[in-house]
Amino acid sequence: MNESWNRSDIGGKRLRRYRREITAMYDAGIRWVDAQLSKLVETMRRDKLWENCIFALTADHGEEFLEHGGRYHAPSLAEELIHVPPLLRVPGAAKRAVSNNPFSLIHLAPTLLEAADLPIPEAFQGQSYWTPIREGKAWNEVAIAESVAGCTNPFRVEQRRGSRLLAIREAGYKLVLNFDTHAEFLFDLKADPGERVPLPDHAAKSERRRLLEAALAHLQKSTYPRTSDSYLRTRLREIAVHPSSPAAEATTRAARHAAASRIG
């Protein structure tokens, strides 16, 4: 059954006969993870560590089971792939109703650091949401998800250099931009949670404009990390230079100097 689900030469219509069994196997995997987490929590309680730790659980992505005709988790930014549940438990914090507004995982690290009363590095792009979470208040910022359009294997360098696929998500609306096909889709998630029918171009103009402005601001900021050490080291790996070699260090210093010259 799993072998059939993996076949690329079988269309979605034929694969639907296996969908129920495949999702049952996936649910079994989730149940196994639940059991392991239960053992972890029980061990921490037994060792008197549970009341002295912050516990956070989330995921990097979901899975698609033919909801939009695809399988697995790439390349798409549909809700079944990017809407993952973050669970947070902080000792001593009162239980509050949490906002239904989207929470981007880029904000998770600074939120955890503030909850632990630790400094947040200036290099972090995200911001802490610990105060509104602790006080039960809502936030209005959008969540942004992006990937490379058409990328099915990020380990292949040529696929990582494709056009951008960008989603801007707020509580009620979601805008998806495909820079490869120049397609633009706006969804009313309250009326159409399954993202089946995008709104026509003349509909929800104010919401569309607001999300487009958020997308533009994100794109303008996203150019800065390209001069970072991590980006330079990734580029070195792509050209088969070991990042710890003298040649790599020399190239990194030269690239930094060139970037500083461009900025200056």
The pLDDT, as a whole number, for residue 149 is 81
Residue 66 to residue 75: CA distance in whole angstroms: 13
Give the bridge partners for 187, in sequence order.
174
The CA-atom distances, in angstroms, between 125 and each of 84, 106, 108 are 20, 7, 11
Q: How many CB atoms lie within 10 A of CB 72?
A: 14
Average pLDDT for residues 3-23, to the nearest whole number?
79
Supply the DSSP symbol for 52: G
The pLDDT, as a whole number, for residue 162 is 76
Helix H or strand E encompassing 251: helix 246-263
Residue 99: pLDDT band with limits 50, 70, 90: confident
Please enumerate in sequence order all residues whose Cβ is within 8 A of that of 224, keeping only pairs 6 or more positions apart, or say none: none
Phi/psi class of residue 182: alpha, beta or left (left: φ > 0; alpha: ψ in -120 to 50)?
left
pTM above 0.85, yes or no: no
Residue 152 to residue 156: CA distance in whole angstroms: 9
Mean pLDDT, rounded, of the chain: 84
The pLDDT, as a whole number, for residue 263 is 44
The pLDDT, as a whole number, for residue 232 is 64
SS3 132: helix
Question: How many helical (H) and strand (E) elements, i.e. helices and strands, does the chain have?
Answer: 9, 8
CA 80 to chain CA centroid, nearest Å? 12
Q: Give me the amino acid identity at 143.
A: A
In 3D space, the residue among 77, 84, 99 whose CA is nearest the CA of residue 168 turns out to be: 77
215 pLDDT above the threshold of 50: yes
Q: Compute and round to an integer the Cα radius of gyration of the chain.
A: 22
194 pLDDT above the threshold of 60: yes
Residue length of the chain:
264
Q: Express each pLDDT in 114-124 by its tens digit.
A: 999 999 998 88
51 pLDDT above the threshold of 70: yes
The pLDDT, as a whole number, for residue 243 is 47
- What angle, rounded to 10 degrees, do the helices at 229-238 and 246-263 form? 130
In 3D space, the residue among 75, 50, 54, 72 whose CA is nearest the CA of residue 63 turns out to be: 72
Residue 32 to residue 197: CA distance in whole angstroms: 36
**Token pair for residue 222?**
């996203």
SS3 65: strand
